[in-house]
Amino acid sequence: MPKVDAHQHFWIYSQAEYPWIQPTWAIKRSFLPKDIKPELDRSGFDFCVAVQARQSLEETQWLLELAREHRFIAGVVGWVDLRSDKLTQQLTVFSNDPHFVGVRHVVQDEPDDNFMLRADFQNGIRQLKCFNLAYDILIYPKQLPAAIALASKFPEQRFVLDHMAKPNIKDGALEPWATQIRELAAQPNVSCKISGLVTEAEWNGWAPDHFRKFLDVAWEAFGDDRLMVGSDWPVALNAAESHAEVMQLATSYLAQFPAATQQKFLGDNAIRFYNLKVS
């Protein structure tokens, strides 16, 4: 059965377009399909989902072009302006491409912790189901209450929480994150990505044991049908040597479960959630 990296990025680097990439970071350069394909092969993954890294329609179109050119890019989670009066037009154009499987907004950077509860944003979320699109929730723990309210208001919309909402792994603090994760997971329309965790730990001093109690919470809350693995490559390279090192964290944790459960986490759940065409 195919394995899917459910969360990675591409970009052609420029400081103006990617100001969030700090000058001292290891990822201050371009990353393209030719860079990740050998990494996926070494890690034993067959496909990936490319996720937006810049909030522009041009980037979404570019990611879709990459997916058409490279079979291993099974889906694209792009950006559209969910608050625009031209949203229907944007979604109609992009949805003509079967690789367009979801939408994401960088909510973690919004100064209003209740940004997702604004009427104009929710009007955009309301349209996604009509196009059979998922929504990736990118937030910090402080924004979890808004995510819980959003998911409950749109019970028929598919949501997936990116990076487990970036828990405070560096300090090892579970609460109130753990309680709120369980509350979010109580909404059956929400899935979760085990991704982006190494960059929430001490970059040069993390160990696999630092993640276990956080993974335990996510596994207990979401179960084996609503969790998927993502590398967050190349962002993860700020804190890890390779794609394989990041994925090893997940596969080592999975070793305690039966093979069928492992396959759900490593591919089946992402394929089903995003309706990926991987045959």
What are the pLDDT digits (tens) for 98-156? 999 999 999 999 999 999 999 999 999 999 999 999 999 999 999 999 999 999 999 99
In sequence order, what are the beta bridge partners of 73?
A: 48
Tens of pLDDT, residue by residue over 36-89, are: 999 999 999 999 999 999 999 999 999 999 999 999 999 999 999 999 999 999
Q: Flag whether 127 is in a domain.
A: yes
DSSP assignment of 86-139, as one string? THHHHHHHHTTSTTEEEEEE-GGG-S-TTGGGSHHHHHHHHHHGGGT-EEEE--
Q: Flag whether 128 is in a domain.
A: yes
Q: How many Cβ atoms sit within 10 Å of the Cβ of residue 160?
A: 27
Going 41 to 42 to 48 to 50, the CA torsion angle's sign is: negative
C-alpha angle 71-164-74 in degrees, rounded to nearest 5 = 10
pLDDT band at 230 (very low <50, low <70, confident <90, very high): very high
CA–CA distance, 213 with 186 (Å, rounded to integer)? 19
Residue of 208, 217, 134, 216 lying closest to 179 (CA atoms): 217
Query: What 8-state DSSP symbol labels residue 191?
Result: E
Numbers of helices and strands, H then E, in the chain: 10, 8
Q: Flag whether 195 is in a domain.
A: yes
What single-letter amino acid sits at 49? V
CA–CA distance, 165 with 49 (Å, rounded to integer)? 19
Task: Reduce the DSSP state of residue 105 to 3 states and report it.
Answer: strand
Residue for token digits 């967050």? Answer: 232
Number of alpha carbons in the 13 Å side-chain half-sphere of residue 65: 8
Q: What domain range includes position 191? A: 4-274
In sequence order, what are the beta bridge partners of 74?
A: none
C-alpha angle 273-101-135 in degrees, rounded to nearest 5 = 70
Asked if 147 contacts 187 with a C-beta cutoff of 8 angstroms, the reply is no
CA–CA distance, 56 with 58 (Å, rounded to integer)? 5
Q: Flag whether 248 is in a domain.
A: yes
pLDDT band at 202 (very low <50, low <70, confident <90, very high): very high
Q: How many Cβ atoms sit within 10 Å of the Cβ of residue 117?
A: 15
Mean pLDDT for 243-265 is: 95
In sequence order, what are the beta bridge partners of 181?
A: none
DSSP assignment of 243-255, as one string? HHHHHHHHHHHHT
CATH label of the domain that carries residue 192: 3.20.20.140
Mean pLDDT for 269-276 is: 98
pLDDT reading at 247 higher than 90: yes
* Token pair for 18: 């990617």
Q: Flag whether 207 is in a domain.
A: yes
Please tell me the total count of domains within the chain: 1
Q: What percent of the chain has pLDDT over 70?
A: 100
Q: Flag whether 279 is in a domain.
A: no
pLDDT in the model for residue 279: 75
Tens of pLDDT, residue by residue over 141-153, are: 999 999 999 999 9
Q: Flag whether 210 is in a domain.
A: yes
pTM of the model: 0.97
